[in-house]
Amino acid sequence: MMLGIKSHKAFLRASIRRRRSQLRSNPDYRSFLAQEFEKNSKDLFSFLKEGDAVVAFLPLVHEPPIEKILLNLINRKINIFVPVVKPSRQLAWVRWVPDAPSVHNVLGIDEPVGEEYGSEIFLDADIRLMPALAVDVEGHRLGQGGGFYDTLCAALTEQHLQSTYTVIFDEDLLDGLPYEKHDFITPAVLTPSGPRRLRS
């Protein structure tokens, strides 16, 4: 039976989440992936200087482990901003430091507490790192289904796209994905194997 686009997306999300949930029971493998992310992304961040800004995300246990990357950037005095969920599918941004206080958001996820900034932080950052469940080789991105990043990314210019990466596991880069007109097409991915550009 042929699935509609929304049903196909829901099926894929459930399948990927089940596979990713296995990371909870394999901390050694997660640690290995964290080291691979750190090792293979160094060139990507090498141009950054003190005071530059990176927008990223604080990964949950089933998401790509980029904590080492973020800590290394902070040690270089680079500002890290992470999202906090707001009403109407909007995101605000808070500067993150290790051991920052946090609260549960409406989705039950811990978010840092601090001064909140608007979308200008996302647009003006020197590098943007976004989460996703999967990306295909044409750049179609499958998110969690909230639409937060599709809204934000609609404002990205061609110049912005040169420094925008979707962070996934290697096995989440697929040959094809169902997509809709409003879905963001990511120009590049960052996986444990390193950055890969999908389109110029």
Q: Are 40 and 34 in contact (CB under 8 A)?
A: no
Is 20 annotated to bind a ligand? Reply is no
Is 141 annotated to bind a ligand? Reply is yes
With 0-12 CB in 10 A as exposed, 13-18 as middle and 19+ as buried, what is 41?
buried
Is 9 annotated to bind a ligand? Reply is yes
Is 142 annotated to bind a ligand? Reply is yes
> What's the confidence (pLDDT) of residue 41?
98
Is 58 annotated to bind a ligand? Reply is yes
- Sorted by where each starts, the structural domains of the chain and their CATH numbers stand as 5-197 (3.40.50.10420)
Q: What are the tens digits of pLDDT across the range 67-125?
A: 999 999 999 999 999 999 888 778 999 999 998 888 877 666 788 899 999 999 999 99
Is 148 annotated to bind a ligand? Reply is yes
> What's the confidence (pLDDT) of residue 99?
85
With 0-12 CB in 10 A as exposed, 13-18 as middle and 19+ as buried, what is 6?
exposed
> What's the confidence (pLDDT) of residue 12?
95
Is 12 annotated to bind a ligand? Reply is yes
Q: Are 64 and 169 in contact (CB under 8 A)?
A: yes
Is 11 annotated to bind a ligand? Reply is yes
Residues of the chain with pLDDT under 70: 1-3, 106-108, 200
pTM to 2 decimal places: 0.92
Is 179 annotated to bind a ligand? Reply is no
Is 149 annotated to bind a ligand? Reply is yes
